[in-house]
Structures are given as structure tokens and as C-alpha cells.
Amino acid sequence: MRLIPAIDVIDGKCVRLTQGDYNQKKVYDESPIDVARMLEKRGFEYLHLVDLDGAKTSSPKNLYVLNQIALDTNLKIDFGGGIKSEDSLIQSLRSGANQVNIGSLSVRNSNLVKFWVLRYGADQIMIGADVKDRKLSINGWLENTEVDIMEFINDFMDDGARHFVCTDIAKDGMMAGSSLDLYNDIIDNFPGIELVASGGVSSIEECKVLEDMGISGIILGKALYEGLIDPDEVLKAFS
């Protein structure tokens, strides 16, 4: 199972939001690149990099941050935020992303994203599923839809998608536990899915529960930054 620390970027700075609210922003470091270097030095191999400016404006705004991290570290990076065109997808891959995370467009234009899965390969496309009450939210979590998470995943898996990251927005940034029931339902219903859990993971014990459930990766956010999860201890637990 992959342990994937998250770096969310606004105005070139490393931040965390609470429940996706841009008004509840906490700046953790002026330099996401320094944070990425520190994470690699501690022993992490993966990084979840989110361009929150891009998510809000529908076009990546922090590709230079992605590129610098890719040049300065050996972290395997999944990158998302504002990828709404094939040009932005290509730019993201060329800037150093190992995977691109596509959320809003997967809802708005699923046929196009399915084509990208076919064209670029399932391993380079991660489908982002951000949910409130099991319905998809898009555009930086600012717009709610009536798209059901289970129907959404089923539709994409039928057309070859394999990698998904699912975030329960109500849990995100709260450090009060993740949506275990939701993840369990997804794993039970979709054998073979590569599911990354995101939002609210707050302890090493919970990470172990998710691993036993069959989760392929866990995104560690505020709990890591606030010291609720010790990086050395969590890496040792899953080494």
C-alpha cells in the first residue's frame, strides 16, 4: 500500500483547507518544493500534488511547482487541479507528473476522459471522485452534482479506468477519521479497482484498517502536518 503525503498549492504556497473551503486556508510553508524535499528525505516515495488555484479557475496555475519538484526529487507525483483540456493534460505529464488526477472533467465530459484513458493508458490517468453524501462535487468542491459515486465508478471501470482517488469532503481536513463504510462498499463492489483513500485519515491504526480493506493507497494531509501521524512511525509500520 502506498503512503502518499499531500501538498496543496495556492499562490505557490503549501496550504491545507478544511472541508474544501478556500476561506478556511492554513499556510504551512512558503515553499512546496522545500516540503517535497523534506518528505523525500523522511522516506516517502509518492506525492499527491494539488493545484488549488487551477481547480478554482479551470486551468493549471502551478505547473512550475510540479516541474521543480519533479526535477529536484525522485518522488512519484500524481497531479491534479484544473486539468480540463488535452493540452493541460500533456503539459502536466511533460512537467513531471507520473499520473494526472482528473476530477471535474470526468463528470462533465466522461467520454473525453475515457478516450484519454485509452490513449495515454490507465496507469497515467487517475479519476478523482470527490463526494458529499456519496454525490460528486466538482470545480474545486464548489459545485455539487447529483452523480452517484457508485454509478460513476462503474461507468469508468467499464471503459478501462483502474485508478481512482476518492475524497469525502465532509471528512477532509477534520482529522476525525475517514469514510470507512464508503471505501468498504467501493472495494466490495469493484474487484480490481486501485482505490486511493483521501480525507480525514488520522492515525496509523486507521491506515492499517484501510490496508486490510484492500485500499491501494492513502493520502496523508493535515494529520501529517499537524503531527497527529508521525512520518517516521507510519513509514516504519508499512515498510
- Dihedral over alpha carbons 84, 90, 96, 97 (to 10 degrees): 50
Quote the cell numbers at residue 3.
503512503
87 included as an active-site residue: no
Q: What is the DSSP string of the chain?
A: -EEEEEEEEETTEEEEEETTEEEEEEEEES-HHHHHHHHHHHT--EEEEEEHHHHHHTS-S-HHHHHHHHHH---EEEEESS--SHHHHHHHHHTT-SEEEE-HHHHH-HHHHHHHHHHH-GGGEEEEEEEETTEEEETTTTEEEEEEHHHHHHHHHHTT--EEEEEETTTTTT-S---HHHHHHHHHHSTT-EEEEES----HHHHHHHHHHT-SEEEE-HHHHTTSS-HHHHHHHT-
Q: Which of 8, 53, 78, 168 is catalytic?
A: 8
Q: Which of 51, 130, 168, 172 is catalytic?
A: 130
130 included as an active-site residue: yes
- Active-site positions read 8, 130
